[in-house]
Chains A and B, each alone.
Chain A
Amino acid sequence: MDLSFTDEDRAFRREVRGWLQDNIPATERPHDFEGARAWDMAWQRKQFEDGYGGIAWPREYGGQGLDLVRQLIWFEEYAKAGGPDIGCGFVGINHGGPTLIARGAEAQKRRHLPKILAGEEVWCQGFSEPGAGSDLAAISTKAVIEGDELVVNGQKIWTSYAHVADFQELLVRTDPNSSRHRGLTWVICDMHSPGVTVRPILSMDGLAEFCEVFYDDVRIPIDNVVGEIGDGWSVAMSTLGFERGTGFMKLQTELSVALESLIEDAADLGVLDDAAIRSELGELRADVLAMRAMTYATVSSAARTDVPGPEGSMIKIFYADLAQRIHRTRMGVIGAHGLDRGGRYAYDIGEYLYSYATTMGGGTSEVQRDIVGERILGLPRNR
């Protein structure tokens, strides 16, 4: 067991720290979606042009070809420097791109990966449906094969940034006689295709990133299928594996930054003299460190085996609960300031409201507990 970073790693840390200090955008992210997209993509392009796009992605597709430790260092420094949320780049960088790297055909990789890194393509996810949430295998959006095309009809939901996206990782049922995990196909859908309709949904934090997407005879070239026709479930699971595994590298540092700013607020507001508050903050600090230690173990495990381990579900459960506790505690610390959405804690109130999504997004904590119970502990299924 060894937690030491090499001299080269440390030099890399100093280098990215300096670059981030000089380059993190000073402008405010626009509130309209087209403006926000342009702002997010400009920042992504800047990272790419200066050699920090896709730290652990293969060099032949525009990445830096560095190891996961460098990726970890990048995320830690990024969060500490207060780097902006990845915004509408999230799915391309964290889901779609890694899935193409793992499962895509050569032509698909060459076409999309460099553009995702260069901030030229926005991706969105198309897994959940009104009737297929936690029970993802209940997907009913269907695709019929006609010649060299798939013809898609149905509906997806909870699709973040669908209204500004260029492409979608779309999970459809290609075998009408199939059920559950069989007969699904993972396909790249061009969001500008005729027959795609997008409706934004306002969420409790006041944002409208979520969308419903409707498909009416949408034609998708069969060459856009990732993996085999009918093998979409296994492709989708590899996508979720990335989200639940090494995706926590950045989130855990963000939690640490959020907690330390909360402790500063508590000191400013004079509540740190209260032993009960100190105790609550201390428990949160302990859990943030545990989260960091578990992330290091996951990164080490991924570096040894190349595959995110099942412990990703435990880290997700832990992270989601901890994020909610930190934001709830902040609302307690700021007291009546928390009722003023236009005041100095406006950002924190937004983060608090958003935190209700952490135990749902990417798979509810309840489903994660089923996964841990059944796949890690070997408890029997009850379905």
Chain B
Amino acid sequence: MDFLPDAEQDALVEATREYIASRFPLIGGPGGLDDVRWKEITELGWLGLATDEDAGGAGATLLDEVFVFREIGRGLVGGPVLTTLAAGRLAAWSGQNRLAGELIGGQIRVARAIALPASNDDLLLIDGEQSGLTLLVDDDRTALYTTPRNLESSPGLEDGTSVVRRRRSGLGAPFLSVDDPPTVRRLRRVLSILTCAQLAGIAGATRDLATEHAKNRVQFGKPIGAFQAIKHKCADMATHALAADNVTFFAAHMETVGTAGADYYTLAAAAHTRRAAFANARTNVQIHGAMGFTVEDSAHRFVKRTHTLCVTEGFDGAAELLGGLPNVDTSEGS
């Protein structure tokens, strides 16, 4: 047992962080993903790291993807990366290797449709522009549709993004549909765990940004980080980030080894990383003071991204679901 990243995983993290830092500045960077960057991330293999090699993937593990997606969260890389990855995985599991290859190769981008509250028929489409397909994941069924054309968009919560409202009935016949419950649940876990990784990345990034600001901003003749009111907030951010990392690694590991109770671990990681990311994103705004309230600082972007991720994957309901599950023995290991 060695529950720490190995040398290869450390190298993957470092290379990914370097690339993102050079191409996606937190302030003044591209809103979404332009074609050049989309091509770059495709060439880096982000869309199919853990997909089977037969289907055009790299045959790595979900845990390796977690390390990449933690950096994506940290650097606030936008665009339909996760949804396209998930669609590729679904295609591969369905034996549609050609489609999987096109998705992993970045030829088709995939938007995400999520249900609006109080109406099962009204959907919101995210990353709809430039996406040939749209992924919809219900409780018992998941399907890929051709993305409707002539969309009237409205501004998204995240600056520079847009969303589209659409009726479920207007999506037409699915391009690919899967209603096998274990496969649907497995796809949800992949989406959830890689979202947890992004939230853990947000928790870590905001810890670092707030700490850096607390070291440099001087008031009352001292860096504000010398005061316990600020120092203790930073310490709590560090604790949240450490916990968020490890609970995500745990869930990803359990999914990788295919143990029973994978839904339990995934829900636990979702509930925990949701709270950690929100807490840290909010505290990061507060520690930056009035500057943190402006769009000239990056703090607001972490708040908006956290909302987008948590709503898209339904993390707000994770704790309630987890509280109602039967216990799983979490100490067996594998």
Contact = CB atoms under 8 A, between A and B. Distances in A.
Prevailing SS type, chain A contact patch: helix
A2 interface: yes
Contacts of A279: 319-320, 323
Interface stretch (A208-216, A223-231, A292-300): A292-300
Contacts of B320: 275, 278-279, 282
A256 B249 CA distance: 19
A291 B268 CA distance: 11
Interface string B1-16: 1111110010000000
B242 A381 contact: no
B226 A382 contact: yes
B302 interface: no
B320 to A, nearest CB: 4
A190 interface: no
A287 B268 CA distance: 8
Contact of B246 (A260, A296, A369): A296
B238 A1 contact: no
Contacts of B243: 287, 290-291, 293-294, 314, 318
A379 B125 CA distance: 43
Contacts of B5: 1
A376 interface: yes
A380 B271 CA distance: 33
A370 B333 contact: no
Nearest to A277: B323
Contact of A379 (B9, B226, B265, B331): B226
A282 B319 contact: yes
B235 to A, nearest CB: 4
Contacts of A253: 331
A94 interface: no
Given A76-B331, A286-B272, A366-B232, A280 B323 contact: yes
B239 interface: yes
B1 A379 contact: no
B327 interface: yes
A378 B216 CA distance: 12
Contacts of A290: 243-244, 246-247, 268, 272
Contacts of B254: 3
Interface in A57-103: 69, 76-77, 80
Contacts of B219: none
Contact of B238 (A263, A282, A376): A376
Measured as residues with beta carbon below 8 angstroms from the partner, the interface class of chain B is: 35 or more
Contact of A372 (B2, B235, B246, B331): B235
B239 A317 contact: yes
A79 B331 CA distance: 11
A287 B253 CA distance: 17
Contacts of A318: 239, 243
Interface in B220-257: 222-223, 225-228, 230-232, 234-236, 238-239, 242-244, 246-247, 249-250, 253-254, 257
A31 interface: no
Contacts of B323: 263, 272, 277-283, 285
Contact of A289 (B2, B230, B236, B272): B272
A198 B268 CA distance: 47
B238 A377 contact: yes
Contact of A373 (B3, B234, B246): B234
Contact of A4 (B1, B226, B327): B1
Interface in B59-103: 63
A379 B4 contact: no
Contacts of B22: none
Interface in A240-269: 253, 256, 260, 263
Interface in A291-314: 291-294, 296-297, 299-301, 303-304, 311, 314
Nearest to A276: B320
B331 A292 contact: yes
A266 B235 CA distance: 33
Given A1-B6, A4-B334, A317-B236, A380 B226 contact: yes
Contacts of B4: 1, 297, 300-301, 304
B318 interface: yes
Given A4-B257, A380-B222, A289 B330 contact: yes
B318 A282 contact: yes
B321 interface: yes
A13 B160 CA distance: 54
Contacts of B189: none
A282 B5 CA distance: 28
Contacts of A303: 2
B231 A370 contact: yes
Q: Which 5 A-B pairs have the closest CB atoms?
A: A282-B323, A282-B319, A278-B323, A282-B322, A293-B246
23 contacts: A3-B254, A3-B257, A4-B334, A5-B333, A5-B334, A272-B324, A278-B324, A279-B323, A285-B322, A289-B265, A290-B244, A292-B330, A293-B243, A294-B243, A294-B246, A296-B3, A297-B249, A314-B242, A369-B232, A369-B235, A372-B238, A372-B239, A374-B231
Interface of A: 1-5, 9, 69, 76-77, 80, 253, 256, 260, 263, 272, 275, 277-283, 285-294, 296-297, 299-301, 303-304, 311, 314, 317-318, 366, 368-370, 372-374, 376-382
